[in-house]
């Protein structure tokens, strides 16, 4: 995967491609540095598990897993766009290749913004933890900020791809929504499947941060001294949750607004139904027998069914399966820390949950 992506971006011309090259090279270097760090700890600690910096090592592994998994994002996104163009759900103004290039070119600036936000957040986190008192701590802080910039590039790309509704309209393309498509999502169900993938990627750091928020007191009792990081992880958890919102809820709502616009246009085209119904009711009232009233009655019934079917069309690019999966993912992010809390010998406490949110711990 890395070799194929590297061959593609070594000829980088756009800002998006240059940032992807930075991310690829940094991931490789960060992986080597993390491996060297673990090897040094192994040389010093051997089989003494408590001697290892478990939090730092688990953070490196989690970061690398999330970043590596994200390198399939561009391929998935292009497959999504090609599928929707082929089905007629998206009508590009120019050729498919030009449309994809326009979409890719718009990714870079958001990547830079998210890179800055995450890098600054991690740096602030080190300050909150008062972990910048020595040269070794500064080196670790800079290493973590570097890793945060790579994660930020990945998150920026993820969020931009997830907001595909605006990408489509800004590129000059149009949606063609078929409310009677068998997927019951206007033919746009592939969007929500892609959003589920982006939400899964975005949930990786939130799960790690929430787990460690619960685990820090337990490891403190073992003498590992992670207590100063608990407040920092609350801060970073909030940042991660905001990014998770932009990876699923916000883009789904963007597609929903496009579908609502199409529904409004469809309803406008059926504006003749109401006066027609009024006219038919008047003719039926004037009928002198059942036979003369029956055609008007049947026509009224048909028009009401037509109008009701349009009013009832789904304007969300979701179906029950996608909603169930995302609900399970969201519930997992809440329950995993609670179960971890229970496994570590602390009973469920509503006061502790409130303390987490309002900062009284």
Least-confidence region, from 60-69, 100-109, 128-137, 325-334: 325-334
Tell me how far apart the alpha carbons of residues 15 and 12 are, in angstroms, rounded to a whole number: 8
The CB-based long-range contact list for 228-234 (8 Å cut-off, 24+ gap) reads: 228/129, 228/130, 228/131, 229/55, 229/129, 229/131, 230/361, 231/128, 231/129, 231/359, 232/125, 232/126, 232/128, 232/129, 233/125, 233/209, 234/356, 234/359
The C-alpha R_g of the chain, in whole angstroms, comes to 27
Higher pLDDT, 327 or 304: 304
Higher pLDDT, 351 or 147: 147
Tell me how far apart the alpha carbons of residues 114 and 23 are, in angstroms, rounded to a whole number: 13
In this predicted structure, what is the pLDDT of residue 97? 66
Check whether 24 has a pLDDT greater than 50: yes
In which band, very low, low, confident or very high, does the pLDDT at 28 lie, cut at 50, 70 and 90? very high
In this predicted structure, what is the pLDDT of residue 328? 64
The count of residues in the chain is 361
Check whether 238 has a pLDDT greater than 60: yes
Contact assessment for residue 122 and residue 159, using Cβ atoms and an 8 Å cutoff: no
Tell me how far apart the alpha carbons of residues 307 and 280 are, in angstroms, rounded to a whole number: 15
Check whether 25 has a pLDDT greater than 90: yes
Check whether 351 has a pLDDT greater than 60: no
Mean pLDDT of 81-88: 81
Mean pLDDT of 140-144: 88
Distances in whole angstroms, Cα of residue 298 to Cα of each of 289, 293, 305, 349: 15, 9, 11, 62
In which band, very low, low, confident or very high, does the pLDDT at 261 lie, cut at 50, 70 and 90? confident
Structural tokens at position 4: 């194929």
Mean pLDDT of 281-303: 78
Tell if the pTM clears 0.95, that is, is over it.
no
Check whether 149 has a pLDDT greater than 70: yes
In which band, very low, low, confident or very high, does the pLDDT at 350 lie, cut at 50, 70 and 90? very low
Half-sphere exposure of 208 (CA within 13 A, CB side): 20
Question: Alpha carbon 167 to chain centroid distance?
Answer: 16
């Amino acid at each position: 995967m890395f070799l194929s992506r590297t061959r593609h971006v070594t000829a980088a011309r756009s800002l998006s491609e240059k940032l992807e090259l930075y991310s690829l090279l940094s991931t490789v270097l960060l992986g080597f540095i993390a491996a060297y760090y673990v090897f040094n700890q192994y040389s010093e600690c051997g089989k003494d598990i408590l001697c290892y910096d478990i939090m730092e090592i688990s953070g490196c592994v989690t970061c690398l897993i999330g970043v590596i998994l994200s390198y399939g994002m561009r391929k998935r996104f292009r497959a999504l766009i090609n599928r929707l163009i082929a089905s007629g759900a998206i009508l590009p103004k120019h050729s498919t290749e030009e449309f994809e290039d326009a979409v890719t070119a718009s990714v870079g600036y958001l990547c830079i913004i998210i890179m800055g936000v995450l890098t600054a957040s991690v740096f602030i986190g080190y300050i909150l933890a008062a972990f910048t008192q020595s040269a070794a701590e500064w080196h670790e802080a800079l290493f973590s900020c570097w890793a945060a910039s790579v994660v930020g590039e990945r998150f920026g790309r993820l969020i931009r791809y997830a907001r595909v509704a605006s990408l489509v309209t800004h590129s000059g393309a149009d949606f063609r929504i078929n409310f009677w498509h068998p997927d019951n999502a206007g033919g746009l169900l592939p969007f929500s499947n892609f959003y589920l993938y982006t939400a899964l990627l975005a949930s990786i750091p939130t799960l790690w941060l929430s787990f460690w928020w619960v685990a820090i007191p337990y490891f403190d009792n073992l003498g590992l001294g992670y207590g100063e990081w608990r407040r920092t992880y609350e801060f970073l958890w909030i940042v991660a949750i905001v990014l998770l919102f932009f990876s699923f809820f916000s883009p789904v709502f963007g597609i929903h607004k496009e579908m609502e616009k199409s529904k409004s246009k469809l309803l406008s085209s059926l504006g003749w139904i109401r006066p027609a119904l009024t006219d038919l009711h008047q003719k039926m009232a004037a009928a002198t027998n059942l036979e003369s009233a029956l055609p008007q009655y049947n026509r009224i019934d048909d028009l009401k069914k037509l109008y009701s079917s349009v009013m009832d069309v789904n304007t969300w690019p979701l179906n029950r399966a996608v909603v169930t999966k995302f609900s399970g993912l969201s519930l997992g992010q809440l329950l995993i820390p609670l179960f971890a809390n229970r496994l570590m010998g602390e009973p469920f406490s509503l006061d502790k949950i409130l303390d987490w949110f309002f900062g009284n711990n």
